[in-house]
Amino acid sequence: MKILIIGAGVIGVTSAYCLRQRGYDVAVLDREEEPGRDTSFANGSLLTPSMSDPWNAPGCWRILLASLGRSDSPMQLRLKALPTLGRWGPAFLLNSRRSVYQQNTLNNLRLARYSMEVMTSLRDGTDVEYGRSARGTLRLFRDPAALERAVAAALHLQSAGLSFQALTATKTIELEPALAPIATQLAGAIHYPMDETGDAFRFCLGLAEQSRKEGAEFHFRTKVVALEVRAGRVSAVLTRTERLTADRYIIAAGSYSTPLLKAVGIQLPVRPVKGYSVTLAYPVTSRSLRIPVVDDDFHAVVVPIRGAIRVAGTAEFAGFDRTLNSDRTHNLLRLLHKVLPEERFDLASAMPWSGLRPMSVDGLPIIGPTPLPNLWVNTGHGHLGWTMAAGSAQLLTDLIAARPPAMDPSPFAFARFR
């Protein structure tokens, strides 16, 4: 069976690898010059089962309303994006009901944990090197009440496999001495030991090369113009210069999956949510930050990655606009200073970036067949694409191969929206 995948980000590349491992004839198309050049390029670098909660948490509507006209809000709604949200926006808010939100968090956690298991097998079976670090993440709290609520939420997820340790401010500094300058500001922290760090871009490059060696084809600088549909099935993918055929087609194009499917009459409830990062040079010393920090007050992360440090975060509903907003990047740099106030960073080395996270309307990824029987999707992972990539790819592969998957696929099926 020949399978054609559209998209060579972390989701598309892992899908290609898993399918090739099952013996399928796989080809991947991407408009960029190499794998991982879009949303996977400079993301938050964290694999975080601990962050399985969807962004449409109960009460998120208040944050969105308050964000209008403010550049410092962690979640921002831009007025120009309203026409693109249509019915998706109200449905996004409807899925923020507490019972729905809690169930979706559990489903995400199960997939995230499974993905970490698949990732271990993938590392053992390849030579792919991506700067992995397994020190967990440290979520900081300045408000004792916020810490108490977070511990209660973690306890609720403990039975589903979330491991964590609540720390006092003193124990936080013992675990991560680089935070000593802000010790008096902290109410405490939660350490999530199962979380990991890694460079998603390097992973994409390495795994694509591994897949290529094993027979997968990759076609870059190849923009898909349309899907050709005949007799209720996809008959070809049309690029600017070619008509490419396969037995099955997989859309793993992140946020751009939505317009591709809309053109063939399929309404995919996924919208782009812009995130930002800034990466700076960061020589490793005995005082350097070793454990990635999640700052609960500022809704952003500070991550050490091999000779550099990356601060990432914010969620901006701005349609497909990838323009770098200097106010947003300056906010991230201010956060970096608040977390590491005594470090002196070379701002000339700063590399700002933005990417469009594909956010599904209920905060769960969409994995499996669409109403067109030979057209499948693997997208909608939001802020958890890097975390869920390996597990999503294996789940997709098992479904295509008609093998019993290791976990229940129904929460992630496209059919849930019918």
With contact defined as beta carbons under 8 Å apart, do 368 and 399 qualify?
A: yes
Task: Convert the pLDDT of each residue in 260-298 to its tens digit.
Answer: 999 999 999 999 999 999 999 988 776 899 999 998 777
CA distance 38 to 29: 13
Is residue 186 predicted with pLDDT exceeding 70? Answer: yes
Give SS3 for 233.
Answer: strand
Task: Kindly report the average pLDDT of the chain as a whole number.
Answer: 92
The b/e string for 351-375 (b: 16+ C-beta within 10 A; e otherwise) is ebbbbbbbbbbbbbbbbbbbebebb
- Tokens 């968090």, residue? 105
With contact defined as beta carbons under 8 Å apart, do 6 and 253 qualify?
A: yes
CA distance 33 to 169: 46
User: Is residue 163 included in any domain, yes or no?
Assistant: no
| CATH number, domain containing residue 214 | 3.50.50.60
User: Is residue 261 included in any domain, yes or no?
Assistant: yes
Is residue 70 predicted with pLDDT exceeding 60? Answer: no
User: Is residue 339 included in any domain, yes or no?
Assistant: yes
Which domain range does residue 58 map to?
A: 2-136+194-417
Task: Convert the pLDDT of each residue in 378-418 to its tens digit.
Answer: 999 999 999 999 999 999 999 999 999 999 999 999 999 97
What per-residue confidence (pLDDT) applies to 272?
93
What per-residue confidence (pLDDT) applies to 69?
52
- The pLDDT confidence band at residue 79, using thresholds 50, 70 and 90, is low
User: Is residue 10 included in any domain, yes or no?
Assistant: yes
What per-residue confidence (pLDDT) applies to 84?
66
User: Is residue 161 included in any domain, yes or no?
Assistant: no
User: Is residue 334 included in any domain, yes or no?
Assistant: yes
What per-residue confidence (pLDDT) applies to 63?
62
What per-residue confidence (pLDDT) applies to 296?
75
Task: Convert the pLDDT of each residue in 1-24 to its tens digit.
Answer: 999 999 999 999 999 999 999 999
User: Is residue 405 included in any domain, yes or no?
Assistant: yes
Q: What percent of the chain stands above pLDDT 90? A: 79
What per-residue confidence (pLDDT) applies to 64?
58
What per-residue confidence (pLDDT) applies to 75?
58
What per-residue confidence (pLDDT) applies to 283?
80
The first and second tokens of residue 61, run together, are 């509507």
Q: What percent of the chain stands above pLDDT 70? A: 94
User: Is residue 91 included in any domain, yes or no?
Assistant: yes
CA distance 239 to 241: 5
The total number of structural domains that make up the chain: 1
Q: Is the pTM of this model over 0.85?
A: yes
What per-residue confidence (pLDDT) applies to 57?
83
Angle between helices 200-213 and 10-21 (to 10 degrees): 30
The b/e string for 307-328 (b: 16+ C-beta within 10 A; e otherwise) is ebbbbbbbbbbbbeeeeebeeb
